Amino acid sequence: MICYLINADVYFPVYIFLSAQKGEIVGIRIKGTGRYIPEKILSNDDLEKMVDTSDEWIVTRTGIKERHIAADDETTSDMAAKAAKAALENAGITADMIDLIIVSTVTPDHAFPSTAALVQKKIGAGKCPCFDQEAACSGLLYAFNTAYGLMASPLAYKRVLVIGAEKMTSLVDWTDRSTCVLFGDAAAAFVLENDGNPETEDYYVAGEVGADGEWADILRVPAGGTAMPPSHETVDAKLHYLKMGGPKTFHMAVLSMTNACRAVLEKSGTDVQDVTWAVPHQANRRIIDAVAERLGIPEKVYLNVDRYGNTSSASIGICLDELNRSGKLKRGDLVLAASFGAGLTWAAMLIRW
């Protein structure tokens, strides 16, 4: 079963086909990529002055050396808009040519309106439909699947802007050394285009998305929703900050990402050695290494967790933009992306560049 939250300002009928394997070729490609990284860097040395930790402790357990922190007055929609503009420029199109905007985030500017609506205004995208989608760190891959389904459906959106954006440090308890060392802020964006050419190969080769609510408690923000509305008591108890069960999270992350990758490879009939790049969610170096070892492709894994930490739904997008702009990706290359997140959610996609 697939479970995620869509926050849309205006309801519109949709036909979402989240099939495991694509059917007829519809010519949908990744036309442009972009990212935004805040300027401020918080190093492990800086954290040593804030909480009882050390550079050695952090690097040994996570692989993280530094992370970027958004300014106090910088919102998720601000970062998302900047990443979107970079992707639009890379694609060579203007914002008014976009037909749909999907923003994946667990750190929206507001409960409502959607962050996507705010991005629409900030980039000048006109009155195209837009909505937020929440699947935690798996959100970007969920959004890729959703976008593909809508573009291949009778709605036939021609150009879709997909964004993963997070201000995770707004959910961090800076006195909790087990979590405050992990997260950073960032945004990544993609322009997907159906060019109408039946000879264009789809970016989507195969996908796997899933969730298991039995593990919902291992990664959560307890307060702020209808189950525990904001109050003086919830604020005093620090219940609006992220809470994580470390060992259980590690185990489920490795298991879910490995199984999702194997399912995608099997569905597509692809040998793992034919994959050009493996792009896992950049949450923890030890998790990434464990998944790569189980799949047998450690030499093909792209890593930047040391520079950014865990940026949630922006994580995989930053990797893909770096690979694209550095020239390390060529047309036809196969990219295996995988993620896990609160929910517990997981997702994997085999993408043809």
Q: Is 310 a catalytic residue?
A: yes
The encoded tokens of residue 257 equal 């990402």
Between CA 160 and CA 201 the distance in angstroms is 17
Other Cβ atoms within 10 Å of 332 Cβ, number = 9
Unique residue bearing structure tokens 């930490």 = 309
Q: Is 130 left (phi over 0), alpha (psi -120 to 50) or beta?
A: beta
The encoded tokens of residue 68 equal 């970027």
Contacts 24+ apart (CB under 8 A), 112-120: 112/7, 112/9, 113/9, 114/7, 114/8, 114/9, 115/76, 115/77, 115/80, 115/165, 116/7, 116/163, 117/9, 118/75, 118/77, 118/81, 119/77, 119/80, 119/81, 119/84, 119/163
Active-site option among 44, 90, 194, 310: 310
Active-site option among 137, 180, 261, 319: 137
Active-site option among 128, 281, 319, 324: 281
Q: Is 281 a catalytic residue?
A: yes
Bridge partners, residue 162, by sequence: 102, 190
Give the catalytic positions in this structure: 137, 281, 310
